[in-house]
Structure 1
């Protein structure tokens, strides 16, 4: 697993390595922001996870997931963690927390 100085560096490197889709967590699924597809927890694998602490405020913490799908779509989810983490189903939360 690589080490990154910040979130932007991680995103740029993951994009270069083929994680091209912008993904978001919504309604218990991972959805593409631009390609109109959705992935249920059993349809994807979390390949890498990176956490970043806010430099001046711990509430500014975020996590990035590099995800590959059974359909050949690879992308990244950037989410807050801690107090502001996205609401999600228990199946999705379990999958993300195992990484």
Structure 2
């Protein structure tokens, strides 16, 4: 995980965007699509390079994980997902197959 501790999901997303994670990824079937470029990626095309988990102690809507994801072609983007009972099971299954390299 990155060294910085963010207070909110929005703060984490903003900071990652400032560092070049500008693509917005969405899950389409069994692939990720970068919404702006329309490029699609399989799990083996992607690496999670950073993530930040928010506990939602004061706001249940803040129960989320913010992922910084990089594709093999250099596309870098952010994905936000809830966790626990609110997690998207299809997204969770997809992310299990994505490499993690948070060095």
TM-score in terms of structure 2 length: 0.79
Point out where structure 2 has 5 or more consecutive residues left out of the alignment. none
Between the two proteins, the alignment pairs up a number of residues equal to: 98
Q: 1:69 aligns with which of 53, 64, 71?
A: 71
The worse-fitting range, judged by mean Cα deviation, of 46-55 and 24-33 is: 24-33
Separation (CA, whole Å) in 2 of partners of 1:68 and 1:90: 17
Deviations 1:39-88 (A, max 9, x none): 1110011000111122233x651111100111110000111111121132
Matches within 5 A, 1:16-95: 16-54=18-56, 55-57=58-60, 60-88=62-90, 92-95=94-97
- The list of structure 1 runs, each at least 4 consecutive aligned residues, that deviate by more than 3 angstroms after superposition, is none
The alignment yields a C-alpha RMSD, in angstroms, of 2.4
Separation (CA, whole Å) in 1 of partners of 2:24 and 2:92: 22
Distance 1:49 1:89, change over 3 A: closer
Point out where structure 1 has 5 or more consecutive residues left out of the alignment. none
